[in-house]
């Protein structure tokens, strides 16, 4: 039998894949949208949609969506969940989300373990070391930091499938925070969110990565350039915000000794008889105000989207800051720096159709980019002043 070569994301090594496992050649046409691709990447249909399969850039899905092969791969990881003594079996698999050629998250329906309709998730990484690192972080958070924390928590890690560079875990259930905030329970939800974040920041985690401000300054410059390319009329403001962040960074006393989430926003917070947080790929040691400011800047994005006014959730932002332990009336220069930085990051994500969903287009995207730059420039008032005087 002829074989084709597939690249394993686990260790970057080429390995054989029989041609009868590969989908047929794709039909010509425009590239499919990301959401449409994920919908048809299942254990029962992956071979029927070659164009969508290739669009993922993840050839390993041929294995990861194969129920028979994943039953064997997941067996040692699922046994701790208990059950009737029968062998755990993967009944169905579906791709939930992916980043082209980089990562993907798969939902597995499993039979033969405790509870009917048990679901576990598998997250594919480019390198096995990344999967192992996040597993280690989750084991400490789930098993130690948030154990017995009264309804605050994280997903439960089950282990890694090293050959696939896949982290396997029990997902948490709940309503995304952005759907809770407009209702009567909004204030309680942001107070729980602050309690979760405060617990993380007080933890002692043996982390091997640390926030590098120099790297973030390179990112800031690149983000401003991308905004300017997408919207030339905003190029000067984006470049000015980038320059301000560069000029003030050396005078800001950033911390690098605290565990931070580094992607803390409302879509990563789930509320259901307590509160859980997901997605720990970026966890490292850094400045706790990074997470606080990152959350508040995204709260302003959400207010912009739901009320039309970035200040529409100002009361919730103040409640979050008070519950965390930060005086909302004070302008901490580190908070202001990270908030302005995050606003520029969000503007870049809008321009490149990334970031938190929904992802707008047309005039609505332009409006949100403009408003996030407005917010970033407003935060500039809290930055350390340049050596020559006040900001222009």
Q: Which helix (H) or strand (E) holds 368?
A: helix 362-379
- Please, is 217 exposed, middle or buried when counting C-beta atoms within 10 Å of its C-beta (0-12, 13-18, 19+)? middle
Find the mean pLDDT for residues 50-61: 92
C-beta separation of 314 from 188 below 8 A: no
**Bigger pLDDT: 336 or 384?**
336
Taking residues 378-385, report their average pLDDT: 84
* Mean pLDDT score across all residues of the chain: 88
Query: Model confidence over 121-165: pLDDT tens digits?
Result: 999 999 999 999 999 999 999 999 999 888 999 999 999 999 999
CB atoms under 10 Å from CB of 330, counted, come to 9
Least confident among 75-89, 172-186, 365-379: 75-89
Proportion of the chain above pLDDT 70, given as a percent: 87
E-strand ranges in the chain read 3-7, 14-18, 89-99, 103-111, 118-124, 152-153, 156-161, 166-170, 175-176, 258-260, 269-271, 275-277, 284-286
What is the C-alpha to C-alpha distance for residues 107 and 136, in angstroms, rounded to an integer? 21
DSSP letters along 287-346, please? -HHHHHHHHHHHHHHHHHHHTS-TTTTHHHHHHHHHHHT--TT---HHHHHHHHHHHHHH
Determine what percent of the chain is predicted with pLDDT higher than 90: 75
CB atoms within 10 A of CB 177: 25
The pLDDT value given to residue 83: 62
Task: Report how far residue 65's alpha carbon sits from residue 170's, in angstroms, rounded to the nearest whole number.
Answer: 18
Calculate ∠ Cα 64-69-74, nearest 5°: 80
More confident site: 67 or 329: 67
Predicted confidence (pLDDT) at residue 390 exceeds the cutoff of 90: no
Residue 35's pLDDT is 75
Pairing of strands 166-170, 156-161: antiparallel
E strands present in 186-302: 258-260, 269-271, 275-277, 284-286
Please give the average per-residue pLDDT across 221-242, as a whole number: 98
Residue-level pLDDT at 135:
98
Q: 188: pLDDT confidence band, cut at 50, 70 and 90?
A: very high
Tens digit of each residue's pLDDT (9 = 90 or more) over 92-133: 999 999 999 999 999 999 988 866 669 999 999 999 999 999
Task: For residue range 322-355, list pLDDT tens digits in order.
Answer: 999 988 766 689 999 999 999 999 999 999 999 9
Handedness of CA 53, 54, 57, 59 (dihedral sign): positive
HSE-CB of 373 using CA atoms within 13 angstroms = 26
Does 23 have pLDDT greater than 50?
A: no
Residue 137: predicted pLDDT: 97
The span from the first CA to the last CA of the chain, in angstroms, equals 70
Looking at the DSSP assignment, which residues form a beta bridge with residue 166?
Answer: 124, 161
Residues paired with 97 in a beta bridge:
105
CB-count burial class (<10 Å; 0-12, 13-18, 19+) for 188: middle
């Amino acid at each position: 039998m002829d074989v084709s070569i597939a690249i394993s994301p686990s260790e970057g090594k080429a390995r054989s894949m029989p041609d009868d496992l590969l989908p047929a050649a794709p039909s010509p046409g425009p590239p499919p949208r990301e959401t449409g691709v994920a919908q048809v990447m299942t254990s029962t249909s992956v071979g029927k949609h070659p164009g969508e399969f290739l669009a993922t850039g993840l050839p390993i899905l041929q294995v990861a969506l194969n129920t028979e092969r994943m039953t064997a791969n997941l067996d040692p990881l699922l046994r701790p969940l208990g059950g009737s003594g029968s062998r755990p079996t993967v009944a169905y698999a579906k791709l939930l989300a992916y980043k082209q050629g980089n990562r993907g998250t798969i939902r597995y329906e499993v039979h033969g373990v405790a509870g009917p309709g048990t679901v576990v998730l598998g997250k594919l990484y480019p390198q096995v070391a990344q999967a192992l690192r996040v597993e280690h972080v989750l084991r400490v958070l789930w098993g130690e930091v948030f154990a017995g924390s009264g309804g605050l928590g994280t997903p439960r890690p089950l282990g890694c499938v090293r050959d696939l560079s896949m982290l396997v875990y029990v997902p948490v259930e709940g309503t995304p925070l952005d759907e809770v905030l407009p209702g009567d329970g909004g204030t309680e939800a942001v107070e729980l969110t602050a309690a979760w974040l405060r617990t993380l920041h007080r933890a002692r985690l043996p982390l091997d990565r640390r926030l590098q401000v120099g790297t973030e300054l390179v990112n800031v410059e690149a983000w401003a350039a991308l905004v300017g390319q997408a919207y030339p009329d905003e190029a000067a403001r984006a470049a000015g915000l980038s320059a301000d962040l560069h000029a003030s960074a050396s005078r800001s006393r950033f911390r690098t000794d605290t565990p931070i989430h580094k992607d803390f926003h409302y879509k990563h917070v789930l509320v259901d008889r307590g509160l859980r947080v997901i997605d720990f790929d970026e966890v490292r040691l850094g400045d706790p105000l990074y997470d606080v400011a990152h959350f508040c800047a995204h709260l302003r994005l959400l207010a912009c989207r739901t009320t039309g006014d970035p200040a529409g959730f100002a009361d919730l932002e103040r409640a979050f800051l008070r519950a965390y332990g930060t005086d909302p009336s004070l302008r901490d220069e580190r908070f202001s720096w990270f908030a302005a930085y995050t606003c520029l990051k969000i503007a870049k994500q809008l321009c490149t159709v990334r970031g938190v969903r929904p992802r707008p287009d047309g005039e609505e995207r332009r409006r949100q980019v403009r408003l996030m730059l407005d917010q970033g420039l407003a935060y500039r008032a809290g930055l350390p002043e340049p050596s020559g005087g006040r900001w222009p």
